[in-house]
Structures are given as C-alpha cells and as structure tokens.
Structure 1
Amino acid sequence: MTDTAANNLQAEVNRLRHELQSLKVDKQSDDGEQVTIAEYLLARLEQLGVTSIFGVPGDFNMPFLDYIEDHPKIDWIGNCNELNAAYAADGYARVKENSIGVVTTTFGVGELSAMNGVAGAFSEMVPVLHIVGAPSTAQQKKKPMLHHTLGDGRFGAYIKASEQITIAQAVLMSKTNATSEIDRILTECITRARPVYLMLPTDLVSQKVPAGRLEVPLSRTPPPNNPDVEKFVLDEIVKLVDSADQDIIILVDACAIRHNVRQEVDDLLTRTQFPVYAAPMGKTAVSENHNRYGGIYIGSISDPSIKEKVENAKLILSIGALKSDFNTGMFTYSIPTSSTIELHSDHTQVQHAQFPGIGMKQLLPKLTARLKQFESSASQLAVPHYKAVIPNEQHDDISHAWFWPRMGAFFKEGDVIVAETGTSSFGILDIPLPERSVFVSQILYGSIGWSVGSTLGAALAARDKKMGRTILFVGDGSLQLTVQELSTMMHYGLKPIIFVLNNKGYNIERHLHGMHRKYNDIADWQWTSLLTTLSNPNPQEKPKSKSYTLTALLEDKIFSNTGEMQLVEVVMDMYDTPRALQAAADLSAS
C-alpha cells in the first residue's frame, strides 16, 4: 500500500470514529440546541484558536461575514485583495502554531485571486481553511448566467482548480451533512498540515443544525503507529547509533514545525545531547541559542565548518526533511542514504528501507527513551557555535556582508522575523536568532511579494501570543507587488518594523539570469513617503507612522521599541548580494 493510500484510509477511519462519537452526543443531547451553520463553523474555528479571519467582501460571502463581524472572539480583517488575504492567513498559521489560518472570499473572482496564496500554503505544508461564499443551492442546480461565473453553466469549474492545491474539499449543498463535512475537512487540515476548501452557499449560512457535535473536540492525534513495526524500527535505529560509535548529528527541517514536534525534538536534544543543525526551512525549529546547536546546513553553500561537521558524521538523524532545491543548496546535500535515518509525519526511512505509517509524533518520545543511554558520549562531541561577525568596512556603502550581521545584533528575544523570498531569506540564514524568535519565510514556493501579506497575519498572531516585535525584510521589487497591505496593518493598529532593501530591482533574478537586463529593473518609488501616503488622511488625527533612512537608527531605543509602525529604506548597490544567494545562483547556473 502506498503512503497516500494508507493516509487516505486512516483519514477515513478517523472520520468515522469522530462521526460515531458525535452521533452519540447528538442522540444523548436533551436540550436539542440548534445553531446556524455559520455559528457552527465559527465555533469550531474558535476551538482551534482562530481569532482573525482574512478576506475581501463579495455578495456571495457577505451573509457569512455578518456572523464573523458579530462574533465576540473572532475578528474580521479586511484585506486590499484576496491574494494578500491568503498570504496573511498563511503567515498567521505559521506563527500561531496549533491553530490554522482562515481566508474568506467570494465565488469565482475572489477565490481565483486567492489561489496562488493557498497554493503556497499547500506547497509548504501550512494549515489554511479557504471559505468560499457561493451562489445558493437552487442557483447552482438551475445554473443561470450569474455574475462571477464563466457564463457557461459550469458552477463546479473553480473547485476543480482548488482540488489541485487543497488536501480536502467540502461543497455544502444541504444542512443534513453540513456539520460532519465541516468537521471532516478541519480534521484533515489540522492533522495533515495542508489547506482545505469549503464552499458555503448563501442560503445555507443561516440554516439551523444541531449543536451537540461541538461537545466532541476535533482530533489532532495522528494515526497510531503499528507497535510491532515501530519496535522493529526503534531497534534498528539504536543498532545504527551504536555501530556509529555515537557519532551522530540531528538535522531538523520544516516539517518538524508543521507537524508539531518541536517539544519532542527539544526533549530528544536535552536527553541525548547529540549535536543539532537545521535546514533553511527549519530555521528556529530549535533554539539557535541551544548549547548543542551548530548552525544552518545548506549543502555545499554551508559555512565550511558546518559543512564539515554534518557531512563527516557517521550517522544523521533527519527530522521533518523537505528536500527542495533552495533548501538543500541546489540539491548538494552530501549525505548518503546509507548514513541517514529520516523521520516524517507519516513514515520513517532507515537507510534504504521505508516504513509507511510510522509517524514521528509518536516515535520520537520512544526514540528519546532508547537513545538517552548515549548522552555521556554524545555530549563529548564538539559543536562549534557559528557567530556572525560584523566586518569593519572602510566605506559608507551598506553591503550585505555588513548589513545582516549588524541586524543580528538588533534582534531581541521573541521577535517574529519575516524574510522575503530571495535576497532577504538568503541573507538572514547565517545569522543566529535569539531565544523564542520565529523565522518566517517561503523558501520552497517562493511567491514574490508573499512576505508583506504574511507579515500582517504574523503580526496578528504574534500579538495574540504576546510575542515580541514583528520585523519584515523585503526588497523594493517584491514590495511593489503587495504594498497595499501596509495600509491594512496600520488600520488594525499593528506596528511592524519594515526594512525595504532598495537595490533598484530584482536582485535574486539578476543573479540567476540577466544581470544587466532591463527586465530586472523596476521603477523607483519615494519609499520614505510611503507610509504617509497609505495612512489615514484625516489631518486632525495624530500620524500613526513615520518613515526613516538607515543611519545610526539601529542604536535608537525609541525606534527599537516599536511604538508605531516604521519603515526603513536601506539603499544598497544593485549588484551586491548575500554570500549564500550568490553561491546558490552559481550552482543554479551550472
């Protein structure tokens, strides 16, 4: 049986188990309480910790928006467009772990605009619910030539597109199965860390359904591992660790975050003391101040000291790997399969043998118990701590070599740091981040402009979690795609610090291809006037934001404490680029 088939079978078993429990509650309920479908859906989202829903109003979703606006604990966050709303839901889910992001659009024109953002969440395993307000069930059956349709009666055309970028879909056409369908797709969303799609027709929004199912929480528990296979896998791993003379390193990647095993990984590190490194997408999956943390491994692009330690280890325990091109240094991992153990959410691979259905969530605590015997020897393995040194440059230009280490000294504990695809995400990789900080970047899907909308969601989630500052690094080219969402941040009282890298165009594209081509140039903007342009124009109100250029700003305590939203224009040479990005571009070209 393939992994996909096993996952689908287990998902159906989980659904039937939850359905049986819910039916029992419904049957035992004496008061027979009824709620609307909209109220049921919002109650489930509240149970999942959702406090913000993103989107744009349209006539087919506005009946549902009334319920959102009237909800006492969930806020409606109106965006400038649906694409940015989907980006915001993605950023919200990344920072508010164990919750999900939610984006609400109208049928056709709205949902299609959001699809690129939803696709990015699918690619990078981010749990997002896309709610689409749709024409009434009667209209969908009669198929009149409605606005927002294709004019040919194909009311199901849009969901066919969404089926390619969501893990589960539900088209509500009757109140009879509405609650079970809502529960089904939400369970898929939280257990498989991928987006799901819900079509909600206008006439069903206020239809009444039994509320009893809400007493049965949605299950987050992954499928149980087969105990016999799990024991065999544990035995094999222990044998390999022992035969490697305990010369083992742990490599943590994105899916350790997405599938909620941070605590299990931390317990493993604490009780075994094996050295740990992270892939780019796994940055901040473990504390970068941990005494056994060695830095970021990116194949041949890695710092030489990190590359040597990782690639010379006799055994590598890989947790949650996602082996994309940029995440592996353009596929330059020098880690043979014979020296690797891979733990994933739905399978485990020990050297060349794969064990479907043996997930890391349940395996890790048992593995920690078996490997703690090696602590005394593992603690003797040297872990050189990588430090970003600020160079003493004899000129006034702001170079990437100086800028990123200097920013490392600016960061504080608990900061949420968002980096745009390309220049920023590569520049910050080598910079150790403080305790409890969260790094947010879209390294696999790489949708230009994603970081701006994502910052909106990340900042709201950070405020919910009482975290530190939200800091965005974005290039001038990327910001021009999604700049409108800065106004949304101001509207909702968010106070991120935004560093705009002004290098006159698309830096990453120049270094990948067309260094001197005009298509990589952009129109320059008056960046220092941007927040004034996008802020509330009422002259009687105190300005909510200011703009700056970078001088001695990083030493300014008022600036650092983020009492208001702030934008910093960082003027850089159009051909200068971070070390890691230049290396990746060279590899890509070759």
Structure 2
Amino acid sequence: MAIDIRTQGLKKPVPVAQYLFARLYEIGIRSVHGLPGDFNLVALDYIPKAKLKWVGSVNELNAAYAADGYARALGISALVTTFGVGELSAMNGVAGAYSEHVPVVHIVGCPSTISQRNGMLLHHTLGNGDFNVFANMGSQIACNTARLNNPAEIAEQIDFALRECWIHSRPVYIMLPTDMVEKQIEGARLDTPIDLSDPPNEPEREDYVVDVVLRYLHAAKNPIILVDACAIRHRCLEEVRNLVDKAKLPVFVTPMGKGAVNESSPTYGGVYAGTGSQPAVQELVESADLVLSIGALKSDFNTTGFSYRTSQLNTIDFHSDHCKVRYSEYPGVAMKGVLRKLIERVDTTKLSSEKLAPKVVNEVSENRDSTETITQAWFWPRVGEYFKEKDLVVTETGTSNFGIWESKFPPDVVGITQILWGSIGWSVGAAQGVAQAVKDMGEDRRTILFVGDGSFQLTVQEVSTMIKHKLRVTIFLIYNEGFTIERCIHGMEAEYNDIRRWNYTEIPTVFGATDKEVRKHIIKTKSELEKLLADKDFNDAKGLQLVELWMPKHDAPRALKLTAEQSAKNNARME
C-alpha cells in the first residue's frame, strides 16, 4: 500500500470527519440534525464515534428549523445536509437562524474535489460544472464559509468556523467533499479546546463608554431598562439580571426579549412594543428621560409596525459589537464588557426613578366574559397560570407570537419565538429541537408549543420525529380555520387564507404513536380547558400531548390586530 507522505508528520492522525464531530461534541452539541444523502453518508458514519446522536428529520427544512430550536435551548447546534437538493431545502431555516442571531453549524456533504476540478456532470448539480454556486448562496446567510478542500488547512478552518459561529451567534457553512471525509489531519489539536471566549474590549475605550453611560444614568430622573432579543442571543442574560437586581429600575422586555427578565421581579413592567403595548407600559417607557436599550432588534413585528415613540436623544444602545450613546456611536465596544463595568461602578444612591413599573395586566379576571367560547383575550392570561418554572415555551408566527405577550412567565421560563424572520411552520420543527436539547442536557423540563392549524399543516411531519425520540412536548394546536395573521393583514374571507380541516388528534396515530406514547384532547369550551389545565397528569406528562383548541375564526390578539393594521399600511405605501 502506498504511503501518503503528507500524513507522515502528523502526531495523532485522525480522519477529517472524526475531527469535525469531535469538535462539535467539545463545544456542547450532543445531537446532530439533518438528512442522509449520498454525498454525506460516509461522514455520517463518524457521528456515533464522536458520542453524538443522529436525530434525523423528515425533511431538510424541518431539520433546519429543529437545529434553530436546539441552538436556542442549548447554545449551538449542527445540521448536516447533502449538496444542492438538501442544502437548498434547508436554506430557509438557516436564513431564519442568521436573521435572528442563532448559531447553527451547517455541514454540507458535497462531490469530491476531483469531480469539482473536472467539472463533472453529476446529479444534484445545475449541470453547468459550477460546484461553488450553492456555497456562494449559503455564504449570504453565514458568518463564515469553510470549503474543506486542502487537508493541510482543514483543522484550522474547522476551528475558526466554529469559533466564528459561537462568537457572532450566527450560522456557518462547512463544505465537506467526499474525498476529504477520511483524509488524515492533525488530531493533536483536539487536545487544546477551541477558545470560545468573547474578544475583550480595548480597556480605555470601554472605560470611556462606561463613564459616559454613568454620567447620563446618574443624571436621569426617570430611567428605564428595555431588554431585547440580542441580549439573549449573545449570552448577556447574567449581566442583564445583575444590572436589574442592583439598579432596581423599571425594566421592560420587547416581544423578542420575553423571558430575558424575571417577570416576578417587583421592577418588571411588562412587554413594550410601541402602540401594541398595554397603555400603562407605553406611557412609562415613552415618558422615560433615559432608556437603557440592551440588544435591540427593532423589526416591524417586534415594534408593532415601527410604532416606538422613544427618542434616540434619550437612548443608550448596547449591542454585541458596538454601543451607541444618544447620537454618538462606539464601534468595537461590545455590550458584555460595558455592562459588567457598569454594574460594578453604578452608584445606586444617585439613581432616580420617580415612576414605578406598572402592574402587569395579565389577570384572567380582566378578560373573562360570560360565554364558554375560548377567546384569545381570555386564553393567553389563563395559560400563563399553567406555566411552571423552567418551562420552554415555543410560539408560532401568528396569533401565538402576539398572544403570548399577555401571558405571565414564572421565573426561568424560556420564551422561543421567530418574530423577525417569521417563517410559518417554523415552530413545530423548533419545538422538536428544543425538546431534544432539553433531553440532551438531562433536564426534566416541559417544552410547550403553541401553533395555529395553518402553520401546523406546513411542518406537521416533525411530530413524527418527536415520537421517534420519545420527547416531552405538549402541543396546543389552535384550531381557527386558517391563516389568521394573514386574514388580519388582508383578505379576512379570502379563499387563499382558508385551509382544509384535518383530524388533527389522529395525526400522532398515523405517525405510529401508540396510545401510551401520546395523549390527545379536543377542547371547545373554557370549562373543558379549565379542567384540563388543572389535571395533574396533564401537567406532569412526560411524553407527547396534543390539544386541539377551538377558537373563533375571526378572533385575534389585540397586539396582532394593531400590528397587522400597520403592516397593511406599510405594504400599501407607494413611495
């Protein structure tokens, strides 16, 4: 057998795939999502060798959604698809992760370097000899693209890509040719973990920003704190909570930031989303003379159609890669270091807040009517009483994303939504990923999914994966006869917003679940729901539960109606 002189100098030769999957395990990943395809099959053989679990999904889009959910719950995730047909099917899900700052390692098995060099007319290609076209597409939704074509560079490429994925909290794209999968590279590098620490700020610049922030904060009469999505995505929750505990200022979250703050805190004031907020919340936030905005993502659905009435002159923005104090921007000064020093140096005796946070309006009694019909206004405050500490609550784009604003979260509840990208059907795959992450972490926590019937029909197959892996998921399927969020924007009675009625509670059985593996309920009245939510077995169930929840076709949460109205206006603008 011929000796490859390129491997003779290696201290600990290991195959590329073994190296890659060992690194995934090292950074905390325990399960890998994706689908098999002939260009990734040999690589998949190395997954169990790295002590990783292969989840497998029903299609690549669902796998990408699941990887998104897994990363939100555990911190980072991995997705494996095949070249062309597989990766393009996953691209929508990966784009959502990029849009919403979610770290997903997307590994694409592709044709050999020899086939690429010769421009061979292979299946899964466009037939034009261009083997980089899909990687070029993927590079638009990745913070790093690694083409593993040269064994001498592969280990460094992998390590760099994984660090970029973690630091920037966005997807990376790794292109793995079939003839590189078992090439030997230096395994001795595995003895040194990848450095995932955040790059430190330059001390003098950081100190200057902290001093400027303190000057404005100590002088303010009515300062408040507003926490948004990137505080969660860029791992600043400890800093946020320490600041809230020490400063004791009124604190609010945006819809995308829900769950970032302990809602049992006496200073918690509720969800701020411009005109979609409760009036008392809107009044206090917009009358503040200083807003400490942490991790803002001011998208239309996160702000009720850009309806904020806060002034940049009264705002200090903390972001993952810069800070902005009023109209002065400080590039390269990341929020984590600034917040830590701010917590150390803030003089609480100089803090002033003439207004206390309003009482959060989420009591069931305030929304009860005399009928048995389950309305959106009644349901969301009521389901907040069903939640328990450390639940993971996944809400679908539509009524659920907007209704959950009115639910109170107990401490350590994790809210998982996709408000910026807003891909209908995302939540079903994401819930599978979330529940898998919980299982991988060895924790006994409930994953609770709220999804409309229209959205559910797009990605229902992922219920099969939940059954396959015996995951603990409770699904509240809102049956209201179609795409309610679209109806509110345009076409209330339009045929294109209608869907076919399914026998929803029979779906787990079709997917092979036994009566012991799934509990099914059809709930049409408040009384029936009250009885179910009070049932101990329902609250403590360990497997899959599906609740078909009937709500009126034309009913929608107050915030959704306001946002949809503004969205329709934005869509209709001519200039």
TM-score (norm 2): 0.94
Aligned to 1:53: 32
C-alpha deviations, 1:65-94, integer Å up to 9, x for none?
11113432x100010000000000000000
Unaligned 5+ segments in structure 1 are 1-29
Aligned to 2:328: 353
Aligned to 1:67: 46
Cα distance in 2, alignment partners of residues 424 and 351 from structure 1: 34
Aligned to 2:4: none
Aligned to 1:15: none
Matched letter for residue 362 of structure 2 = A
Cα distance in 1, alignment partners of residues 399 and 79 from structure 2: 28
Aligned to 2:520: 547
Is this contact kept in 2: 1:530–1:547, CA < 8 A? Answer: no
Question: Of 531, 551, 569, which residue of structure 1 is paired with 2:548?
Answer: 569
C-alpha deviations, 1:370-422, integer Å up to 9, x for none?
21x12575577512230412133211211111111111111111100000011
Is this contact kept in 2: 1:340–1:351, CA < 8 A? Answer: yes
Of 457-466 and 157-166, the range deviating more from structure 2: 457-466
Alignment of 1:11-410 (within 5 A): 32-72=11-51, 74-97=52-75, 100-245=76-221, 247-371=222-346, 373-374=347-348, 377-378=351-352, 381-390=355-364, 391-410=367-386
Is this contact kept in 1: 2:83–2:110, CA < 8 A? Answer: yes
C-alpha deviations, 1:264-291, integer Å up to 9, x for none?
1111112221221111111111212222
Question: Of 471, 477, 480, which residue of structure 1 is paired with 2:457?
Answer: 480
Cα distance in 1, alignment partners of residues 478 and 29 from structure 2: 33
Q: How many residues align?
A: 552
Q: Do the aligned partners of residues 425 and 208 (structure 1) sit closer, same or farther apart at CA in structure 2, a change above 3 Å counting?
A: same
- Indicate yes or no: 2:449 matched with 1:468: no
Is this contact kept in 1: 2:10–2:186, CA < 8 A? Answer: no
Is this contact kept in 2: 1:414–1:467, CA < 8 A? Answer: no
Is this contact kept in 1: 2:382–2:407, CA < 8 A? Answer: no
Is this contact kept in 2: 1:535–1:545, CA < 8 A? Answer: no
Is this contact kept in 1: 2:102–2:170, CA < 8 A? Answer: yes
Aligned to 2:479: 502
Is this contact kept in 2: 1:278–1:295, CA < 8 A? Answer: yes
What fraction of aligned residue pairs are identical, expressed as a percent?
Answer: 48
SS at match of 1:532: helix
Unaligned 5+ segments in structure 2 are 1-8, 570-575
Cα distance in 1, alignment partners of residues 520 and 190 from structure 2: 48
Aligned to 1:7: none
Is this contact kept in 1: 2:489–2:564, CA < 8 A? Answer: yes
C-alpha deviations, 1:166-209, integer Å up to 9, x for none?
11101111211110000111111000011000011111111111
C-alpha deviations, 1:506-559, integer Å up to 9, x for none?
0000000111111100001011211111125xxxx7641131112221111111
Cα distance in 1, alignment partners of residues 248 and 515 from structure 2: 53
Alignment of 1:513-524 (within 5 A): 513-524=490-501
Q: CA deviation at 1:221?
A: 2.5
Matched letter for residue 325 of structure 1 = D
Is this contact kept in 2: 1:387–1:432, CA < 8 A? Answer: no
SS at match of 1:324: coil
Cα distance in 1, alignment partners of residues 262 and 65 from structure 2: 26
Cα distance in 1, alignment partners of residues 353 and 435 from structure 2: 38
Cα distance in 2, alignment partners of residues 375 and 500 from structure 1: 50
C-alpha deviations, 1:314-339, integer Å up to 9, x for none?
10100100111111121111110100
Cα distance in 2, alignment partners of residues 189 and 261 from structure 1: 17
Matched letter for residue 114 of structure 2 = A
Matched letter for residue 478 of structure 1 = S
Is this contact kept in 1: 2:385–2:408, CA < 8 A? Answer: no
Superposed CA RMSD: 1.5
Q: Do the aligned partners of residues 85 and 494 (structure 1) sit closer, same or farther apart at CA in structure 2, a change above 3 Å counting?
A: same
Is this contact kept in 2: 1:456–1:485, CA < 8 A? Answer: yes
Matched letter for residue 269 of structure 2 = G
TM-score (norm 1): 0.91
Is this contact kept in 2: 1:273–1:379, CA < 8 A? Answer: no
SS at match of 1:325: coil
Cα distance in 2, alignment partners of residues 377 and 338 from structure 1: 19
SS at match of 2:476: strand
SS at match of 1:78: coil
Aligned to 1:22: none
Question: Of 497, 505, 526, which residue of structure 1 is paired with 2:503?
Answer: 526
Cα distance in 2, alignment partners of residues 468 and 375 from structure 1: 40
Cα distance in 2, alignment partners of residues 392 and 272 from structure 1: 37
Is this contact kept in 2: 1:535–1:543, CA < 8 A? Answer: no
Q: Do the aligned partners of residues 375 and 488 (structure 1) sit closer, same or farther apart at CA in structure 2, a change above 3 Å counting?
A: farther
Cα distance in 2, alignment partners of residues 225 and 46 from structure 1: 29
